[in-house]
A and B are shown apart, each in its own frame.
Chain A
Amino acid sequence: MTDKTNAASGETTDFGFETVNKNEKEGLVRGVFDSVANRYDLMNDLMSAGIHRLWKRFTIELSAVRPGQTVLDIAGGTGDLAAKFSRLVGDNGQVLLADINDSMLKVGRDRLLDSGAVGNLHMVQCDAQMLPFPDASIDCITIAFGLRNVTDKDMALRSMERILKPGGRLLVLEFSKPVNPIFEKIYDTYSFRVLPLMGQLFNNDADSYRYLAESIRKHPDQDTLLGMMEDAGLVNCEYHNMTGGIVAVHRGIKA
């Protein structure tokens, strides 16, 4: 229904620095992640020099997840957050690893099985804009480096707010805007020169990594995203800049 409306109206959105029809973005993003899925973790380590582990660890600390809770990790990709949540919620809790991309989910599933994270973990292939879960059913939602790839971010945030239990929390870990202008210049050079080169060298795919850099620039900055979360109905919203604002983790509570 929504797709048809968008196609008819010819609504557009950004795909990196390109402007595409809203209906096309999902397929284009899928193409990018199909291409990078197999070497996603390796590339994350290479591109961030391993710092992404620190960003994710701090996000997990902020989640304050307790045993017995239900956690949804959207755009969970290869499941590194889900594996840690699986240990935190224990046997009485459950972790739902959701991703729109089946290639990423397959890599995540295999990795989690290999690491022994089973029993309280479930995989769901779904769209963050239309989450297939009952209202007020989830204690904590995390979306790490996924929101910028979502076509309609406001719709996704509203969908997340809907399924959170009152008092439940949403954590959005995402690339953001560096706070120091000089640092931003260096970061820009790294993103547009070094990242595609690394993509070409290690994954034989410069375009996907160019898209990653472009999509980061098109993503809302810290304060804009904070406003979007408040507009979605979340309260006590706040954010923490990490590594000079390259990444920010936003947190909001369901009223």
Chain B
Amino acid sequence: MNTHHDPAIITAVLMAAEGAINRGLELDPASARDLADLSGTVLAIECWAPALEVFAIVEPEGRLHLTPYCEQACSVRVRGGLNDYLALTTAEDPAVTLINSDLEIIGNSAPLIALQTLVAKMQPDWEAPLVGVLGDVAGHQLANLLRQIFQWGEASSKSFRRQLSEFILEEGRLSPPAAELEYFYQEIDSLVLKVDRLESRLKRLAQRLKTPAR
């Protein structure tokens, strides 16, 4: 139970998130149908810093209900700190991050993986609400424009990240390249190995010197 926070604030945040998710599902009927197959699943998300507990309940109509309080038995519970959850949301491959991170998964992980797959596959038809409001022609044109803006934004973001990486590694020499780092680490490993061997030889030698000659 979330005893440290004002329930009205948590409820407001969850209502907004629930509304956005369910609106997205309305625009992607295939995902809504897939979600309906998971009906009855209760996912508990527990964060210990800040202390917060949220439940996601899959409803039979293929909608998600988010609540700060639930008395139903949880199908799966995920525990972790805020950093772990942030890393998960920004990860390129959330499934791998989920397994390799410090997040603790308790219960049946199958519905969690199914939910994760569903989110990854989701493709809401953003054109539908625009066409509904503006009509076929204007709605389609605006949707195309928005699609181009998003694509440009995505491409620009990728390009910026690549160029920033090149500047840091190649031009500014602010950080060593990955291959150089890898070679450095191998050298360290090799040095550690040699030092260990030398240490054991010295120990053996010291042992021999201590032992009286026969």
Contacts and interface: CB of A to CB of B under 8 A. Distances in A.
B97 interface: no
Contacts, number: 33
B6 interface: yes
A62 B15 contact: no
B6 A57 contact: no
B135 interface: no
A57 B11 contact: yes
The bracket for how many chain B residues form the interface is 10 to 19
A61 B6 contact: no
Interface stretch (B43-51, B67-75, B104-112, B192-200): B67-75
Contacts of B8: 51, 54-55, 58, 242-243, 247
Interface in B8-35: 8, 11-12, 15
Interface of B, helix, strand, loop or mixed by DSSP? mixed
A114 to B, nearest CB: 21
Given A54-B15, A57-B15, A242 B71 contact: no
A62 B67 CA distance: 10
Contacts of B70: 61, 64
Interface string A213-255: 0000000000000000000000000001111100101000000
B112 to A, nearest CB: 22
B12 A54 contact: yes
Contacts of A244: 6
B153 interface: no
Contacts of A247: 8
Interface string B59-73: 000000001111100
Contacts of B12: 51, 54
A249 B69 CA distance: 14
Nearest to A62: B69
B7 interface: yes
Which of A58, A62, A242, A247 has the largest number of chain B CB atoms within 10 A?
A58
Contacts of A64: 69-71
Contacts of A241: 6
A61 B68 contact: yes
Interface residues of A, number: 15
A62 B15 CA distance: 15
A61 B69 contact: yes
A64 B71 CA distance: 7
B7 to A, nearest CB: 5
A14 to B, nearest CB: 28
Nearest to B2: A240
Contacts of A58: 7-8, 11, 68-69
Contacts of B11: 54, 57-58, 61
A71 to B, nearest CB: 15
Interface string A106-137: 00000000000000000000000000000000
Contact of A240 (B7, B15, B67, B71): B7
Nearest to A245: B6
A49 B183 CA distance: 62
Interface string A80-112: 000000000000000000000000000000000
B84 to A, nearest CB: 26
A190 to B, nearest CB: 17
A241 B5 CA distance: 9
Contacts of A243: 6, 8
Contacts of A51: 8, 12
A243 B69 CA distance: 17
Would you list the 8 A-B pairs with minimal beta carbon distance, nearest first?
Answer: A242-B8, A64-B71, A61-B69, A54-B8, A54-B11, A58-B7, A243-B8, A58-B11
27 contacts: A51-B8, A51-B12, A54-B8, A54-B11, A54-B12, A55-B8, A57-B11, A57-B15, A58-B8, A58-B11, A58-B69, A61-B11, A61-B67, A61-B68, A61-B69, A61-B70, A62-B69, A64-B69, A64-B70, A64-B71, A240-B7, A242-B6, A242-B7, A242-B8, A243-B6, A243-B8, A244-B6
Interface of B: 6-8, 11-12, 15, 67-71
